[in-house]
């Protein structure tokens, strides 16, 4: 297995994302945002979009999608924001407040102890 994205020239990445630049601060996708497909792939769809829709039939984290596509995370986030804008996927963002939430920490502990 080769490291993902090794031979991705900036030009290829530019083509993939059609020059879009929405992975900046307003891109809502966290590394662990769980993405869920809201439709099936349709003919003519960009192959990366097809791959994402297949992969996200079950919730799948942004970072797993990037690893599977062998694309850098920032490029993956741009692809995802296109799909989100088109209503083709939905996003379950991490609850940021969870970091401080004693109930969530307790759930994490229980989960870890049960491993």
Partner 1 sequence: MDSATSETRTPLGASADNGLKIVVVGGFGAGKTTLVRSVSEIRPLNTEELMTRAGEAVDDVRGVRGKHTTTVAFDFGRISLDAHNVLYLFGAPGQERFWFLWDQLFSGTLGAVVLVDTRRIDDSWYAIDRLERNGTPFIVACNDFGGPAFAPEQVRDALDLDPHVPLITCDARSRESSKLVLITLVEHLRALYADPARAPRQELV
Please select the residue that binds partner 1; options are 39, 42, 86, 105, rule is CB under 8 A: 105
Q: Please give the size of the binding site for partner 1, defined by CB under 8 A.
A: 58
Query: Any residues with CB less than 8 A from the CB of 27 and at least 6 apart, and which?
Result: 77, 78, 81
Query: Any residues with CB less than 8 A from the CB of 97 and at least 6 apart, and which?
Result: none
For partner 1, the closer of residues 60 and 80 by Cβ is 60
- Do you know the residue count of the chain? 115
**Whole-angstrom Cα distance, residue 103 to residue 4?**
37
Instruction: Report in angstroms how near the CB of residue 46 gets to partner 1 at its nearest.
Output: 15
Residues between 73 and 92 that touch partner 1 (CB under 8 A): 73-75, 78, 92
Assigned token pair, 11: 């030009």
**Whole-angstrom Cα distance, residue 65 to residue 54?**
11
DSSP 58: S
Question: Which H or E run contains 53?
Answer: helix 47-55
Instruction: Report in angstroms how near the CB of residue 113 gets to partner 1 at its nearest.
Output: 7
Q: Residues 16-55 vs partner 1: string with x where CB under 8 A?
A: -x-xxx-xxx-x--xxxxx-------------------xx
In the complex, the residues that contact partner 1 under the rule CB under 8 A are 3-6, 10-11, 13-14, 17, 19-21, 23-25, 27, 30-34, 54-55, 57-61, 63-64, 66-68, 72-75, 78, 92, 94-100, 102, 104-113, 115
């Amino acid at each position: 297995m080769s490291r993902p994205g090794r031979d991705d020239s900036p030009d290829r990445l530019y083509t993939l994302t059609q020059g879009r630049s929405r992975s900046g601060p307003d891109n809502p996708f966290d590394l662990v945002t769980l993405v869920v497909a809201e439709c099936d792939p349709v003919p003519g769809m960009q192959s990366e979009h097809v791959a994402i829709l297949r992969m996200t039939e079950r919730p799948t984290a942004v970072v797993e999608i990037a690893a599977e596509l062998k694309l850098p995370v920032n490029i993956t986030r741009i692809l995802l924001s296109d799909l989100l804008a088109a209503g083709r996927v939905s996003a379950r963002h991490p609850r940021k407040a969870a970091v401080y939430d004693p109930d969530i920490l307790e759930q994490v502990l229980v989960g870890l102890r049960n491993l």
